[in-house]
Amino acid sequence: MSVLENNSVASNVVSVVPVSTTSRSYDVYVGIDLLDDAGTYIREAAGGTSAVIVCDSNVGPLYAQRVQESLARAGYAVGTVTFAAGEQHKRLCTLESILEGIAKLELSRGDVVVALGGGVTGDMAGLAAALYLRGIQVVQIPTSLLAMVDSSVGGKTAVDLAAGKNLAGAFHQPSLVIADVCCLHTLDHDLLSDSCGEVIKHGVLADPELFDSICRHPINASGYDDLGMARVVARNMEIKRDVVNADEREQGLRQTLNLGHTLGHAIEAASNYQLGHGSAVAAGLCCVARAAEALGWAEPGITRLVEAACQAHGLPTDTSLPHEVIRRYAVHDKKRHGQAVNLVVPRRIGSVFVRKTTLAELDEVIRLGCGTRRD
Ligand code: GLY
């Protein structure tokens, strides 16, 4: 029975977004001050007797104790596994130490891993849950905007390899997602701004109203109260939900979530990950819009709109990287299919399509889209 059916959902839950994929159905709670009730929600959604909180060294001191106490009040035996913060630690050796930590706490099949943190934590704790005893439940508690609007929903889990980001992973849907927008209060402004790249992407992908609204009221400007932020987060989660419900394993529609990512990932990797993911996606989005407009694949005027949205959030709209560098990274992207890349092309705000792009065509996209912005 879901918490909603049980009627015990608290009034500080602003929105419940039900997700229903082929492998699992679960709810996403978006709200204000939810951490103290996390144990109750997890008990009702996942059951079990033991829970392990997985968090990094930044998020642990901020929120782990509250979540731990809440889980204990709900009757769980609780432990915490903490790892060093940073994308550079999203590696197999960290995954191993998380798995050893879970094993030490003697979790069994019905028990729960609680991923408390940003995208790196969600991906690694999710993968640890997918592997431990061949799969135990994971609950995602995203604490960054990027994790709330993107990585906590949809079940992608991964670690990085020397050859590239997220190259080893599994699909493992959570049993519940709890997004407490109060966690964003402690988020560094630059990280908040960076996350807006994925929000702009969702607007271009599926929602002209969201796009228009965030252009007029940039998310990283003051003026968003918790309720306003919860509504934006919930709308983003609905957009992502609609995609993963239709295509959990990225056979078709889910590829559209890679809008801005073919060039964005290349820009991010070429910067040696110094540029944030959302900022790289914003730049990639503007570059692909410019090329699509020039090639007649997109409605005239789309570039101006996408650039304006990125500028309003202080995000980059282009890259000065040499074209051959972008090409090298873009063709090594894991989304490549033989001699073609499935490029997600914006048609107009709210509509995109996937184009099987030959490597020669990709060169043309890079030539027309990258390093060509006119101020
Ligand atoms: N972040 C893209 C996806 O979840 O498919």
Separation of 250 CA from ligand 1 center, angstroms? 8
| pLDDT (tens digit per residue) in 136-175 | 999 999 999 999 999 999 999 999 998 888 999 999 999 9
Show the DSSP H helices in 170-301 as ranges.
Answer: 189-206, 208-216, 226-246, 261-270, 277-294
Residue 154 CB less than 6 A away from ligand 1: yes
pLDDT at 188 over 50: yes
CA 363 to chain centroid:
28
Separation of 70 CA from ligand 1 center, angstroms? 30
pLDDT given at position 335: 67
Q: Which of 170, 137, 141, 177 is nearest to 18 (CA)?
A: 177
What's the CA gap between 312 and 18, in Å, rounded?
Answer: 31
Query: Which atom of ligand 1 is the closest one to the Cα of 250?
Result: 5
pLDDT at 40 over 90: yes
Alpha carbon distance, N-terminus to C-terminus of the chain: 56
Mean pLDDT within 201-224:
95
Mean pLDDT within 277-295:
98
* Dihedral (Cα; 321, 342, 91, 154), 10-degree rounding: 130
Residue with CA nearest ligand 1 atom 3 = 257
Separation of 154 CA from ligand 1 center, angstroms? 7
Mean pLDDT within 245-266:
96
What's the CA gap between 281 and 165, in Å, rounded?
Answer: 14
